[in-house]
Amino acid sequence: VITDVTLPMNGESGWFGWPKNDEYEALRVKWADLETLEERKVLARKMQQIWWDYVPSVLLGQSVAPSARRKTLTGLIGVPAWIPFWNMQKAEA
C-alpha cells in the first residue's frame, strides 16, 4: 500500500475531514501487488487522473522543515525536505 499520509482517500478511516473515494482506494491497495514498473506506471496514471478530477486537497503556500546537523555525525545525505537517516554514522573522535 502507498503509505504517504497525504495520499489516502479513505474518509472516516483517515484523519478528520479526509476525502473519500472508493475507486482511488482500491487502486492504491493494488499498488503493492504489482510486479513490474510498467504495471505501476499504468496504475499511477489512473490514480493521478482520479486525484486531479476529485481534487481532494489544494496546497497553498510554502512550508519549510528546517534541520540542524551535528558535526559528530557523518554520512548524512542532503535532500531538500525529509532527512534520511540511513548511511548516518557517529564520527570518530
- Sequential DSSP letters for 8-32: --BGGGSSTT--B-HHHHHHHHHGG
Whether the Cβ atoms of residue 19 and residue 11 lie closer than 8 Å to each other: yes
> Is 73 contained in some domain?
no
* Alpha-carbon gap, residue 28 to 4, rounded angstroms: 11
Whether 39 is in a domain gets the answer: yes
pLDDT tens column, 35-53: 999 999 999 999 999 989 9
Residues of the domain holding 51: 1-65
Q: 15 lies in a domain?
A: yes
Assigned domain for 84 exists: no
- Computed over every residue of the chain, the mean pLDDT equals 83
Number of domains, the chain: 1
In a domain, 43, yes or no: yes
Cα separation, 32 vs 61, in Å, equals 32
Single pTM value for the model: 0.60
